[in-house]
Structure 1
Amino acid sequence: MEKLNYEVLEKSGYDGYILKDAPVKVMQFGEGNFLRAFVDYWFDLANEKADWNGKCCLVQPIAPGLAKMINEQEGLYTLYLRGSENGQKVDAKRVISSVKNCLNPYEAADFEAMMEVAASDDLEIIVSNTTEAGIQYDPSCQLNDQPASSFPGKLTQVLYHRYKAGKKGIIMLACELIDNNGKELLKCVNQYIDQWGLEDGFKKYVNEECTFCGSLVDRIVPGRIRDEKEVAELEQKHGYADPLLDVGEVFGVWVIEGDPKLNDVLPFKKAGLEDKVFVVPDMSPYKKRKVRILNGAHTGFVLGAYLAGENIVRDCMQDETIKGFMNKMLYDEVIPTLPLDKQDLLNFAAAVSDRFNNPFVNHELMSISLNSTSKWKARNMPSFLEYIKEKGELPVCLTMSLAAYIAFYSNDIQSLTDAGLVCKRPAGNEYTVSDDRWALEFYYEHRNDSAEELVHAVLTNEKMWDQDLTQIKDLEATVVADLKKIREEGAKAAYASCL
């Protein structure tokens, strides 16, 4: 079977949208599954729907990468968006043609090619997703490194070369999953400008002529298909082999923080994508929406659901008690505390149900359970405290979710190993809790406590919560009662008692 490229694609009889030649308008640091299923997909739609006529040149942020494979396929790859939308199963194929090529700047010729793109009149946008560790200042980087080892170091080299070539400023869209990603990236670039003693004119160019935008990305991307039988079947169906084939969920939202005038420069509004990719002056409400509804739902129900015998998210959505518990938590306790348009929040919550019910993704509860101490604090506690402040009473489901967290971390503790805290499920099988070592040691030390002693120790642990939660009226007694119910009647019966 021949590998995908333009000639092979034509022979296969593919009749979808394809753009073969266009100027490079985007330099993209990162060539992995996520960016190809997300950013490059939106640019591909902009080409089709707004006649944007632009290509993306990808750059490997680290030496090992996909450049060779991407260039062998002339930038083409197959994307499947799979999931559930409005309760309907979706399995949509699209060949993405918005990528021109991929450079490995750790090779001399590609470093020079990266600088050529940097100095091009066509370049308008730089995008990055270099993992959470990518936006970091490394003082060992030097201006004459080829390339600088850190991503902000490479970006400073690229922007300096562009400035020296007398070209206009660019729009920088940071997609890394850290708070204030755009501002943090700009801060690192300014540190290199100072460290390398670069001129004031360049500093002014970076801070005034270039636009650094933070952004919030939201799409689950499982990536490649691991089932060899399915891969073989798809190759027969497509008429070509594609080792770069990518898979993402149907849902996708990209919130870009910046001046709304950027909507006129970026191609997404013209392409009719303004409900999917949009610019807002402040993305924090959207981040809050995602963290408290999507992530908060996960952390709020999965620990109890696991104790109740469930293993993957989709199966939980088939269980009326667990789904009912999640919905009551979201609609009655979380959404009323959020500062966004209520219809928008209801639409987002409805999409969350579809996403959790994705027939193509086996999202394991145990993978969601990692680091649940910090997750409950970041995702659930803000809604919990806000609800109490507004209503003057405890939120029933969020309080139960706190008890379920304690139950998950303390259920029939067997041992503490290098891998984590080994507990036993009510069904009898062992599971390993993964978290910060201090949190695991805390639960191991309290393994023989009564429910009352354990709840008191957890709620008064200020390292966990930055405060003493026993100060909240009725909380300690309620969590004790909830924990006893989970232990004595089972987590499902405890969830049912909230409905």
Structure 2
Amino acid sequence: MKLTRENITVPAKPIRIVQFGEGNFLRAFINWMIQEMNEKANFDAGVAVVQPIPQGLGELVNAQDGLYHLYLKGIEKGELINKRQLIDCIQKVINPYENYQDYLDLAKEDSLQFVFSNTTEAGISYNENDTLEHIQNSFPTKLTALLYQRFSHFNGDEKKGLTILPCELIDKNGQTLKEIILKHATDWELSAAFKSWINSACTFYNTLVDRIVPGFPKDRIEEIHEELGYEDQLVVEGEQFHLFVIEGDSKIKDILPTEEVGLNVIVTNNQAPYRSRKVRILNGAHTCLVPLGLLSGLETVKEGVDDKEVGSFLESIIKNEIVPSLPASEGIEEFANDVLDRFRNPFIKHYLKSISLNSFPKFNTRVLPSIVSFHQKNGSFPQGILTSFASLIKLYDPKNLKEFKPQDNQEIIDLLANLWADFYINGSTDFEIIIEGVLSATYIWGQNLNELEGLQIQLSQNLKQIHNEGISSLIEEKFSLS
């Protein structure tokens, strides 16, 4: 039996939320929170999901009428937690590339109040080629068009502004999104009244999200279907732990009843301490592990931390390089230890290939700050992290494509493919050419990293050893020095 609203009776809900993104994380984090508030605080919020790219899960979500099951697994206060929950807050998914008018019509929903998003670190970016007249490619331009439609439909009614909480893992995500939207409003020569409405009627919050979400449990889906009695192709798994940090005024507490239902949500005027430790330790460690693990033939995070060689090396990176690169703060070592325990969660399978999505933008956001601050403090570079950096560059070698297919910005994929192709065609042994090309890509790093004296040489040496001798040789060498 298929999981649909014909087979399970659940009430429809008014569209109060537009959500950009239908992926595993939002469904296991934001949609779960909405479900909790709906069930325990009569929040009565339905979600209209916007598929942010042409290819996605929208058709599948609609085929199940927005229904799916969430499994939360882990250990809480010493007790095994294994919760299953039907999530029914999603009312529909719209693919704007196929139904652009349906997308714009979301702006006319009288009950609409919130916007949530998670379009990866690459999602909140400025795209000068998008226009108001045609379907936009970037998330900020899509949202600009939606907001302008709402402003126009309701004649600039201040009460129809939206509360916008982006969940992309970049610093000051809400502030950055607002700045880009206002820039597009200028580019498109939209009225001063619209810009004023954005500033006065709409509220943008900076956020930080934290929950490990492995996603679809493909290895045991038949067992799950038998347990459920339904065919659910959108099952998602996540850890029990969750944290949502919202930076901004406390008015958000009046409209999101998170405290009432006991969610771990922190509203603060400064999320920086929470963000630094979470992004650079947890996410940074994930990002460092991906190329090390994949080149070592490992598939999951747990396999990585349990592997004697890779796991010990990753722990060394966290404790000897990432943590020392951060400002000293109470509880930071405990947080680092907890991260390793969360990685070892035996109840979830987090595939490294899943984490590898947009690896280079993630490396820029999550890992590069640790390289820079470590160098500033010590006058040297963190050797473990540079091993991971070189491994990432090797991972994008086209000769690896049979086992690993990069999912990244096409410009980045093309850059690495061309650098490696030239290397092989020329029969070169000069790895500095590859490294120089990668480090000079300012559209990835926001700067020319060749200007960091000594970085190019060390990365070139690492890449040469990985290419010629394999990743194990370099891990053994560097770990012996740590």
TM-score range, shorter chain: 0.7 to 0.9
Q: Distance in 2 between matches of 1:279 and 1:319?
A: 38
Q: Which amino acid aligns with 2:476?
A: A
Are the equivalent residues in 2 in contact too, given 1:420–1:432 (CA < 8 A)? no
2:386 pairs with 382, 393, 402, which one?
402
Q: Distance in 1 between matches of 2:94 and 2:404?
A: 43
Question: 1:365 Cα deviation (Å)?
Answer: 6.9
1:239 pairs with 224, 229, 247, which one?
229
Describe the SS at the equivalent of 2:348: coil
2:373 pairs with 370, 382, 386, which one?
386
Are the equivalent residues in 1 in contact too, given 2:237–2:348 (CA < 8 A)? no
Partner of 2:115 in structure 1?
Answer: 126
Partner of 1:167 in structure 2?
Answer: 159
2:261 pairs with 261, 271, 278, which one?
271
- 2:36 corresponds to 1:8: no
1:294 pairs with 282, 286, 290, which one?
282
Q: Which amino acid aligns with 1:44?
A: Q
Partner of 1:440 in structure 2?
Answer: 420
- 2:338 corresponds to 1:350: yes
Question: 1:211 Cα deviation (Å)?
Answer: 0.6
Please say which of residues 168-177 and 20-29 is displaced more in the overlay.
Answer: 20-29
Which of the pair has more CA radius of gyration? 1
Are the equivalent residues in 1 in contact too, given 2:104–2:146 (CA < 8 A)? no
Question: 1:243 Cα deviation (Å)?
Answer: 3.7
Are the equivalent residues in 2 in contact too, given 1:213–1:256 (CA < 8 A)? yes
1:20-59 correspondence to structure 2 within 5 Å = 20=11, 23-59=14-50
Identity %: 28
Partner of 2:409 in structure 1?
Answer: none
Describe the SS at the equivalent of 1:156: helix
- 2:414 corresponds to 1:422: no
1:326 pairs with 314, 317, 327, which one?
314
- 2:467 corresponds to 1:467: no
Are the equivalent residues in 2 in contact too, given 1:225–1:231 (CA < 8 A)? yes
Question: 1:346 Cα deviation (Å)?
Answer: 2.7
Describe the SS at the equivalent of 1:333: helix
Q: For this pair of structures, how many residues does the alignment match?
A: 459
1:79-90 correspondence to structure 2 within 5 Å = 79-82=70-73
Question: 1:491 Cα deviation (Å)?
Answer: 4.1
Q: Which amino acid aligns with 1:331?
A: K
Q: Which amino acid aligns with 1:95?
A: L
Classify 1:366/1:206 alpha carbon distance in 2 versus 1 (closer, same or farther; 3 Å). Answer: closer
Q: Distance in 1 between matches of 2:164 and 2:333?
A: 28
Q: Distance in 1 between matches of 2:273 and 2:143?
A: 28
Classify 1:382/1:67 alpha carbon distance in 2 versus 1 (closer, same or farther; 3 Å). Answer: closer
Are the equivalent residues in 1 in contact too, given 2:317–2:385 (CA < 8 A)? no
- 2:244 corresponds to 1:254: yes
Describe the SS at the equivalent of 2:3: coil
Gaps of 5+ in 1: 11-18, 412-418
Q: Distance in 1 between matches of 2:317 and 2:165?
A: 34
Classify 1:69/1:401 alpha carbon distance in 2 versus 1 (closer, same or farther; 3 Å). Answer: closer
Q: Distance in 2 between matches of 1:460 and 1:62?
A: 29
Deviations 1:15-68 (A, max 9, x none): xxxx73654432333444432222111111223344434333334556777667
Q: Distance in 1 between matches of 2:189 and 2:313?
A: 58
Q: Distance in 1 between matches of 2:322 and 2:117?
A: 32
Question: 1:171 Cα deviation (Å)?
Answer: 0.9
Are the equivalent residues in 1 in contact too, given 2:116–2:165 (CA < 8 A)? yes
Question: 1:207 Cα deviation (Å)?
Answer: 0.7
1:127-166 correspondence to structure 2 within 5 Å = 127-130=116-119, 132-133=122-123, 136=127, 138-142=129-133, 150-164=142-156
Are the equivalent residues in 1 in contact too, given 2:22–2:57 (CA < 8 A)? yes
Q: Distance in 1 between matches of 2:405 and 2:297?
A: 15
Classify 1:349/1:279 alpha carbon distance in 2 versus 1 (closer, same or farther; 3 Å). Answer: farther
Are the equivalent residues in 1 in contact too, given 2:73–2:238 (CA < 8 A)? yes
Describe the SS at the equivalent of 1:203: helix
Question: 1:487 Cα deviation (Å)?
Answer: 5.0
Deviations 1:426-465 (A, max 9, x none): xxx998997634653686599765xxx8689969996372
1:183-222 correspondence to structure 2 within 5 Å = 183-191=175-183, 193-194=185-186, 198-222=190-214
Deviations 1:294-342 (A, max 9, x none): 2432454555555666454322222344323322332233223323743
Partner of 1:14 in structure 2?
Answer: none
Q: Distance in 1 between matches of 2:363 and 2:319?
A: 18
Gaps of 5+ in 2: 407-412, 441-447
Are the equivalent residues in 1 in contact too, given 2:287–2:355 (CA < 8 A)? no
Are the equivalent residues in 1 in contact too, given 2:282–2:339 (CA < 8 A)? no
CA RMSD for the aligned pairs? 4.8
Deviations 1:377-420 (A, max 9, x none): 65445324433544x4657xx31442565478679xxxxxxx83
Partner of 2:410 in structure 1?
Answer: none
